[in-house]
Amino acid sequence: MVKTQSTPVEKAARLLDLVPYISTHQGIALSELAEEFNLSESELLSDLNTLWMCGLPGYTPLELIDLEFDSGYVSIRNAEVLQRVRLLTKQELVIILLGLDILRSSLDPKREDLQEAISGLTIKIKEIVGNVATASPIVNSTHRAIITQAIGSRMDLSIKYHSAIRDTVTERVITPLELSLDYGFEVLNAYCQSAEGFRTFRLDNMKSVEIAGSSVSVPQQSDVAEFIWQLLIKSRFRTSSERFRSTYKARESTEGEQVTVNSFSQDWLLRNAMSTLASVEVQLPLSARSLIAEKCQQSLELYENWAFSN
């Protein structure tokens, strides 16, 4: 019976396994090594001759793996570069898990053979690393389809939206204008009838989306009140600028930099200003400074009340 010839991938994997095995079994007999790897002695000699030409760039005797097997016994030296056992790290296994999840979601449901193969491999990997991660779309595709339909037919939307600023879920009726990307997030630019102003809604924060009826008239964006703050950035220039979505320019000076930022949401400006670890000072308007002082005082009172109650 003719033995099936190894594929290039199988041979490469076997070569990577041979090095650490021989390193821990110095002087092993050719026959014993061939039996361990289920090879004929001629196949094993072919592998060893291939390994003999492997090593680091330069490919002089100083960089190449040093193999001895003429006597019928195999020894190896200078193989540190390939001496590690061919095992995947936990991080690599997690990446494979995520890739399998993405692959499964993109397959035709009729390909049950591939679905079963992916499920079997996923189970084996999770036995090693546990159920540590899964991959799923951050945006509900049904929501995106309804939004696209509403924009095309000029219809309003009724949404339930999780506001990261207030950490609350609110119900709103909005007039969708356009979809766009904002710092890598898919967002909907819309007129919010509840807030009576233009707002930007992240699609991954939308809990539900429904058609609400024909669109109402939307005012010109220039007619809607906008909050404009003047800031002094004193440190952490890049992160502070990016937090307020202000253009960052590379700089060597450590002197403060004045920037003007704007938003239709004063809450958004307030939250960002209070989370900059004192690297930003709000200079104008004075009402904003008073509002920040009031919020800081409220936060301190919460800590004091908690401390004395315990």
pLDDT digits (tens, 9 = 90+) for 43-81: 889 888 888 777 666 666 666 778 888 888 998 887 776
Q: Which residue has the tokens 């070569």?
A: 15
Strands 206-214 and 155-163: antiparallel
Lowest-pLDDT range of 80-94, 103-117, 231-245:
80-94
Which amino acid is it at 76? I
- pLDDT confidence of residue 29: 93
Give the Cα separation of 158 and 149 in Å (integer): 13
Residue 275 or residue 27, greater confidence: 27
Q: Among the listed ranges 37-46, 61-70, 201-210, which one has the minimum average pLDDT value?
A: 61-70
pLDDT, average across residues 205-222: 77
| pLDDT given for residue 2 in this prediction | 45
Residue 33: band (very low, low, confident or very high) from pLDDT cuts 50, 70, 90: very high
Residue 200 neighbours by CB under 8 Å, 6+ apart: 182, 187, 188, 189, 190
Report how far residue 78's alpha carbon sits from residue 76's, in angstroms, rounded to the nearest whole number.
7
pLDDT in tens, 237-265: 888 787 777 777 776 777 888 888 877 77
Q: Where are the alpha helices (DSSP H) in 107-250?
A: 112-129, 141-153, 237-243
Q: Which of 78, 88, 87 is nearest to 22 (CA)?
A: 78
What is the average per-residue pLDDT within 179-188? 80
Sheet holding 280-284, edge to edge: 257-263, 227-233, 280-284
Give residue-wise pLDDT tens across range 137-161: 677 888 988 999 998 888 899 999 9
Query: In the predicted model, is pLDDT for residue 90 greater than 90?
Result: no
Mean pLDDT along residues 300-307: 75
Query: pLDDT at position 85, please?
Result: 61
Lowest mean pLDDT of 1-5, 21-25, 114-118, name the range. 1-5
Mean pLDDT across the chain: 80
Range in 78-82, 159-163, 293-297 with the lowest mean pLDDT = 78-82
Of the chain, the percentage scoring pLDDT greater than 70 comes to 83
pLDDT reading at 119 higher than 50: yes
pLDDT above 70: residue 221: no
95 vs 80, which has greater pLDDT? 95
pTM of the entire structure? 0.43
Mean pLDDT of 80-85: 64
User: Counting beta carbons within 10 angstroms of the beta carbon of residue 294, is it exposed (0 to 12), middle (13 to 18) or buried (19 or more)?
Assistant: exposed
Distance CA 178, CA 192 (A): 13
Residue type at position 247: T
CA 212, CA 82: separation in Å to the nearest integer? 64
